[in-house]
Amino acid sequence: MSPPPTQADARQSLNAHVAAKGGEIHGKYGPHLGWSELLRLLEDPACVRYPCDIVFGDGPLQTGEMAFPEPKGARPEDGFTIYVHPCFATQRERVPALVLYQLVVVNYGAFASADDAETFGAAALGLSLDDYYRALCDLADVMGQPHGRPAAVTPHSASTHPNVHPYLDTAPTQA
């Protein structure tokens, strides 16, 4: 008889599961998961365990926080409001990277880690872990710039250049 699974085994299993679920989302809503695909994803109970809506507002956000899933009630079944920093309201093509990170908490609760959120978001967007992490860092930089635009990005670079991933300011690395 094998020993019972450890907490490390459970974490490894969850990380493998979120990677697979992210891959399913990429297959269903990719290869480019933009704003309209994100809204459809949030309505899909096979991908999002509890009802969610998005609000652009500071609400419960702490200083420097880009997004946060706030429960609507005492039970997860009551749903969540995912608050997204208002500086992203005019950059909706970049919001999926933020919301996907938060969906791990919605779907798996407090047991989910930052590593799980990064694994899930990267898989859902079809990015390497490094590229997804870099995208999140780029988004964090947006919050500190006038008009919510990183200094290195012009209005046409990230969103229109054919070799630049919409969530990154440069071309993604090859995984």
- Are 166 and 139 within 8 A, CB to CB? no
- Mean pLDDT rounded to a whole number for the chain: 84
pLDDT tens digits, residue range 106-165?
999 988 999 999 999 999 999 999 999 999 999 998 887 544 433 332 222 233 323 333
| DSSP secondary structure code for residue 5 in this structure | P
Q: Which is higher by pLDDT, 34 or 147?
A: 34
**Residues contacting 68, CB < 8 A, separation 6+:** 59, 60, 61, 62, 82, 83, 102
- Mean pLDDT for the stretch of residues 65-84: 95
- Mean pLDDT for the stretch of residues 13-38: 97
Q: What percent of the chain has pLDDT over 90?
A: 71
End-to-end Cα distance, the chain: 39
pLDDT for 47 equals 97
Q: For residue 76, which of 110, 116, 100, 47 has the smallest C-alpha distance?
A: 110
Which H helix or E strand runs over 109?
Answer: none
pLDDT for 145 equals 53
- Are 105 and 111 within 8 A, CB to CB? no
Domain locations in the chain as residue ranges: 7-160
pLDDT for 106 equals 96
Cβ-in-10-Å burial (0-12, 13-18, 19+) of 11 comes to middle
